Structure formats: C-alpha cells, structure tokens
Chains A and B, each alone.
Chain A
Amino acid sequence: MRSTFRHGVHPPDSKALTAAVPLRRMPYAAEVVLPLRQHAGKPARPVVRVGDRVQRGDVLAEADGFVSSPVHASAAGVVKAIGLWPHPDGTLSDAIRIAVDPFNPQIPRPRMVPDWNGLTPPEVVKAVQDAGVVGLGGAAFPTHVKLAPPKDIHLESLIVNGAECEPYLTTDHRTMVEYPERVHFGVRIMMRALGVKRAVIGVERNKPDAIERLRATLPPDLDVIILPLTVKYPQGAEKMLIHAVTGREVPSGKLPMNVGVVVQNVGSIATIAEVFETGLPLVERIVTVSGPGVRRPSNLIIPVGTKVRDILEFCGGVSADATEVVLGGPMMGTAQPNLDVPVTKGTTGVIVLTRRDTPRFETLPCIRCGSCLEACPVFLNPSMLGLHAQAGRYEEMESMHLADCMLCGACSYVCPSAIPLSQMFALSKTALKKARSKVVA
C-alpha cells in the first residue's frame, strides 16, 4: 500500500468552512423536482400520473432495464407535472414535480426495503436496485450493477472511497464522523454480496477525526483496513485510489473489476446500510453547502429533488459578490445558470464562489512549461493534446489516449497560461462521439 498515486495537484482544500459542522436535516420545500435521469444508464420510466397522491418513498418511476435505477418520491404530496425541467448537467430533462403536502407528517410506509438478513446475494442486488441506490460520489453509477459482476471475474477486495479530494466538500467526511457504524454495516453487506473477504477504506489524511472514528467503531469480525491517504487531487478518482491502495494500474479502457477490486464511495456504502436499516429507499442525501459566497456553510441532509434556491435560502442566502453556483466540487462540478435546478442523487455539494475565487485570467500561448504533464494523474500530455484540440485534430487526440482523460481538471488548474485544457478535452470528446455516431448512421 503506497497511500497515493503519481502526479496530481494541490488546490487549497477549503474544507474548514464545513468540516466541523454537524449534519442537520433541511425542512421540506414547497415543491420537489425529481429528474428521471439521476444515474448513469437509461432514464427511469414514470409510473405515476399528474394528480396522483404519493407518500414519501413511493415509486415514481421504475428502472428501465438492469443498468437503470428507479426514482422515489422524496416527500409526500401531489404529482403536479411531468415534463422538462432544468437538470444539473445543464440540459432540460424530464422530471416529475411534486407539490409537497405541508400538513403531511412525512411518515413513510413501513419497510419498503426488505431486511437484509437471510437474503441471497442476487436478492441483495435486487433490493439495492429497488431502493434506487446509486453512487453518491458524483458519477451516480447504479450501485447494484457493481454488486453483480460477471461470472468470469474474480474479485479480491472492496475499496471504499473516503478520499473526498474535491475542495470544499465534506459530505463523506461528516458521514464517516457521524455514521461510522453505518459505513461498517454497508461494507459488511457489500462484502457479503460480492463474496470478498477484504475491504480497505481509503481516507485522506486531512480527515483525522474520520479515520479515528472509523477505527474506533470497527467490528472485530470485519476484515477492514482503514488506510490514510496523501492529501492530493484527484486522490478520490477511482483509478488513482486503486493505485494508491493496491499499487495496480487499471488497464486503459478496463474496469476496476479487471484488477480484482470494486470501488464504492463511502456515502453510497452508508446509504446501502441506511436503506436496509430503515426500510426506506434512497430519498435523501447529504449535501455540503459551502463556499465563500454562502452565508451559513452547512452539511445538510436534503430530500432529493430540493431546489438549489431553497437550499441557499435555508443557508442564509448568498453574499453580494457571489458569481458562480456550482453543483458538485469546484474541480469537476457544473456551474448552474438557474437556481431552480434540483439536487439529485449524485449532487455532492452546492458551492457558491465569489468574484475573488474565480478571477478571469488572460489566456496566453502555451510556453511548454510542462506543469500539466506533471499534474496529469493518467500521464497524458495535455499540452500537446491542447494544441491538437485547438486545431480540431480529434483523431490525433484519440490516438494520444484522450479516452483515458477523466476530465479531472488538474491540467487546467495548474496551467500558468490559463489555457482551458480540460474544458477543450470535454469538447473534443463530445466532437469525437458525434463524429462516430454520424459514421454509424
């Protein structure tokens, strides 16, 4: 175990704003908006009609196939509309709007998720899918898919991602500090479902209290190692974490299971435990509301579908010089033009940046300083890729392993000439995808 990876960057972690703020529950807003696409894979299929009354936890839309996830009502109320609504990814997307019943006590139906004791691994997978559990670290990959690896794959260990390397975010941090038993319980469920004997929880060293709490509450019969990691971005990227824990490189284009591991975010692990514990599907999540532009930085338990506007209002509003509202972390999150956008299952944070945090730098020519090469965690040559991107030579970029770029933004962060490298790579990836679909069509 080497506790880190090569290259990477050191942005100020800015976590002090919320690292010690205990979790609080946010009250229900007047309306929640639940996009049908809150996960990687096919969007869910609605099973309710406008005007239907729903209870908290009722299924609003069911999974469409195996790589899909259902959407549950995060509050009791009436289905107000089903139609397009701003999505955190910047598009308009189908969503179910629920007018929350202000007088409903919000008591869910009892035990919608079965007790896990006595379930076979396939039944666990089914229960996890029905509970709508997806990766809560940002990518929102359906968790049950990870629990059902192909038969020919031999798994050795489970790696739990508690790195939380994005600046400002403290959702995983607070989860580990306040619900360590739940993390261990979730690890137990996943290890049983996957049939692995070992697990490693990787936590960056800037969260000593989380490491200490996890160690203190570790059940003696669970073979789990809590591994402190070097504080470096992007330590929490799946491949970087696997390299830090096992020393293995996931082959280009392959999945973690190809090197015998499954990686799951610590928040998702705690959620698996939570849904089996409470019997309530995934209807709320922990979100860090932070940044210099927020009046009361907080760690909140928020019903999925609550609008950013309501959240910011609950946190005392934003300061006068706020310029950017980002969903997710500042390195990989998306800036929001519209504050009516809802928090989805994959939203880790609402970060409000001010003018001071986002100065505009003049883009100068590349001076080939090589900072980006030393930042890139997957050892690409962003400087050269950037030149190709500017010239529109996308095929050339493809042969330089553009596909291995995970858009972590480390190159853009360090570039002294302020060249928007990872931004151009995102565009190039889209252009390549488009070109390919045209060839097929």
Chain B
Amino acid sequence: MSTIFDRPLPEDAGDTTEAEAEDRLVIAAAPHIKSRETTTTIMWTVIASMVPIVAASAYFFGISALLVVVAATMGCIAVEKAFGKPGALRDGSAVITGILLGLCLPPAFPLWMAALGGAFGIAIGKTLFGGLGQNPFNPALLGRAFLQGSMPTAITSFTAPGGHFWTIHRSTLAWPFMQVPKVDAITSATPLGLMKFDHAGTPLLNLMLGSTGGSLGETAGLVILACGLFLIWKGYVNWRIPAAMLGAAALFAALAHGAVPARYPGALFTVFSGGIMLGAFYMATDPVTAPVTNPGRWIFGAGIGALVVLIRFWGGLPEGVMYAILLGNCMVPFINRATQPRVFGTAARGRRQEVAP
C-alpha cells in the first residue's frame, strides 16, 4: 500500500510489511527535537571533573585519602541502591555526593565513619525527601554535619600532608565503636585553625598549591578553581554562585582585614583556605539546592560568602563553609519566591514597563 516506506524499519526486518512500517510513525507532541544535554551526562561530567581534585588529595595525603573518598562513595551508593528509586544510581548523583563528602573529611578519617556519613547523607538527606531533585539540603554536607556532630574528635584530627604514599594510617582502618587510636602521623593544625586560635598565617602559595593540613578537598585551591572553571565553561555550573560567594567572602574579609590587620586574614587567604573553594564551585552550585533564578543565585552566593566570613571571624568554629551553605539551602525557597522573573509584557514590581522612544 505505502510506496514511500520502501524498506521495512531495520530492527523489524523480515516480518514487516510496508503498510505496517507507516503504522509505526512516531506521534509525539512538539517539540520534536531536543538538545543532547542530559542530566546524566551533566552528573558524570561533574564526577569526571573531580578526578584532578581527588588525585591532588591523594598526592598530598597518600592512599588513605583515596580510601576515605571510596568509603564515603560506597556508603552513598549502598543506600541509593537499597532505598532509592530503581535505576537511580545511573544518574550519578549519589557518586557525586560520595566524592564530595569524602573531599571534606580529614585524610586519616576512619573509613567506617566515612561510609556511615555517606549513608546518612543519602538516606536522610536525599532518599527521605524523594530522591534526586527533591532534597532541600546538600546531601554531602548533611552527611558531614552528621559526622561533625557525632564524631567531633575524628573529624578535627588533621594529618599533615607528606609522608609515604602507601602509608595507611591506623585510624583509617579503625573498627566501629572502638577507641579511635591516636592519629599516628604528625597531626597538624589547619591554616584556618592556626589563624583562628594562634593568629598565625600560612604562606599563600602553600594554600594555593595545597601543601597544608586540612580536609582532602581543602588543599590545592588552584586545582579546584581550574576544575570549577571547566564546569562553568561547559555550562554545567552557574558562574554567578561561585562569583558571588567568593566575591562576598573576599570583600568582607578585606574590610575586616583593613580594620584589624593583625586579627583577621586578608581576602586571598580567605578564599584559598579551608573549604570555601570546593564549597563555592561544587557544593553551593548543586542546582537542586540552589535558587533557580539568576538574581536569586547572586543573593544566595553572596549570603553564603558573608556567612562564611562571619562564622570564621566571629563564630566559635575555625571553618564555616558547611554551615553557611546549609543555612543558604534553607533560604532557597524564599529566595526563589522573591526573585521570580518578570513575565514578558507585564510591568515589574516597582519597575516601569519599557517604553520605546
């Protein structure tokens, strides 16, 4: 009957008549074409972009660092597999959570704790809310907040970088609920701790290149910056959030430093120390827990940046990125509501409609 479909469709070759081929015309609603960008490719690209960061932390802290990242990731994957929607692992978001959580833990952190943190982050922080796209808080940070609350000693025992690559710290392999062995390697205060409690600075170059104590992803600010810029170039990270966050933190730090130089560090120290770089490019930018409008993103980023400085300079903790971002996450629904776009052809709140000359 149909002479247009000259051959049957390939996958059904053999038992299809030409008339039936026409029956299989796809009827779909417009638009009929779609960009090839998918959430899955975005997620896995983000994961790929974190490889240099993980590699840098392994370079500085040895195999233990890698094990911590793997343990945290395994914890996330296990819970996502057990409680998440079928096939939810494929979108890669659980792996991102795991790696990010691993990156904000100390190098010799007990593996079981890392895995538990990942499991908590995914279970309570994500699955409980309905999985991908539904969680109000960044699951990795929620996992870390849980660990901070439950294991305050372990999470503040930082190993100094250096040492042999294959050395596995005893604390790394500690058993659950046993007395954590004293961290055997040289423990070291983080640059932020030094600044906070001793008012001692750390050379800026060390901060940028990473040869300082701290969490895995707190070192090597330049590596994180490069990876973040790659994601911005790909269009997967909205540049406004890191720009606002780092900008606001730098600004407030510079003001405080200008007022009392001996007490407060300057702008560059502030943006290259601690977890702010990782937070700005990888945590605060998690689209699910960030505002959806561009003005909202500026507000969100700037608010977090200001909070970080507030907590670091005047709070009880040396580092405040985690709490700052979690607090920012709380504000997202309000920010979204307040920054809804002005619909084309309607007058904006307080703004007159454009009138042509």
A-to-B contact residues, CB < 8 Å? 9, 11, 167, 239, 243, 246-254, 259, 309, 312-313, 317-318, 320-326, 328, 330-337, 339, 351, 353, 357-359, 361-362, 364-371, 373-374, 376-381, 383-384, 401, 404, 407, 409, 412-418, 420, 422-423, 426
Contacts and interface: CB of A to CB of B under 8 A. Distances in A.
Nearest to B342: A379
Nearest to B343: A401
Given A11-B33, A251-B346, A365 B132 contact: yes
Contact of B32 (A333, A371, A417): A333
Nearest to B24: A323
Interface stretch (B69-77, B188-196, B316-324, B348-356): B348-356
A378 B345 contact: yes
B33 A357 contact: yes
A246 B356 contact: yes
A358 B32 contact: yes
Contacts of B29: 335, 420, 422-423, 426
Interface string B308-322: 000000000000000
Interface centre among B10, B35, B290, B354 (most CB of A within 10 A): B35
Contacts of B3: 313, 317
A318 B33 contact: no
Contacts of B288: 367-368
Interface stretch (B38-46, B55-63, B106-114): B38-46
| 10 A-B pairs with the lowest CB-CB distances in the bound complex, closest first | A409-B31, A365-B133, A378-B344, A252-B345, A423-B29, A320-B7, A379-B341, A369-B287, A248-B356, A401-B343
B38 A416 contact: yes
Contact of B292 (A239, A248, A324, A370): A370
Given A321-B9, A404-B344, 17 more contacts: A167-B33, A249-B354, A251-B353, A259-B356, A318-B4, A318-B5, A331-B32, A339-B25, A358-B32, A364-B40, A367-B132, A369-B287, A370-B292, A373-B293, A373-B341, A380-B341, A404-B343
B26 interface: yes
A253 to B, nearest CB: 8
B247 interface: no
Contacts of B290: 368
Contacts of A353: 32-33
B30 interface: yes
28 contacts: A9-B35, A11-B35, A251-B345, A312-B4, A320-B8, A321-B10, A330-B32, A332-B31, A351-B32, A353-B32, A357-B32, A359-B34, A364-B39, A364-B91, A367-B39, A367-B133, A367-B287, A367-B288, A370-B238, A370-B294, A374-B294, A379-B344, A381-B340, A407-B30, A417-B133, A418-B34, A422-B30, A423-B29
Given A252-B344, A317-B3, A332-B30, A414 B133 contact: no
A414 B343 CA distance: 19
Contacts of A250: 345
A317 B6 CA distance: 7
Given A332-B31, A333-B30, A416 B25 contact: no
Given A317-B5, A322-B5, A339-B4, A254 B345 contact: yes
A186 B116 CA distance: 74
A426 to B, nearest CB: 7
A324 B32 contact: yes
Contacts of B342: 379
Given A248-B355, A368-B288, A368-B290, A358 B30 contact: no
Contacts of A371: 37
Contacts of A412: 31, 34
B3 to A, nearest CB: 6
Contacts of A364: 38-40, 91, 132-133
B131 interface: yes
B27 interface: yes
B178 interface: no
A381 B287 contact: no
Nearest to A387: B133
Nearest to B32: A330
B28 interface: yes
A297 B33 CA distance: 18
Contact of A247 (B24, B39, B354): B354
B2 interface: yes
Contacts of A239: 344-345
Nearest to B33: A330
A381 B31 contact: no
Contacts of A401: 343, 346
B153 interface: no
A414 B37 contact: yes
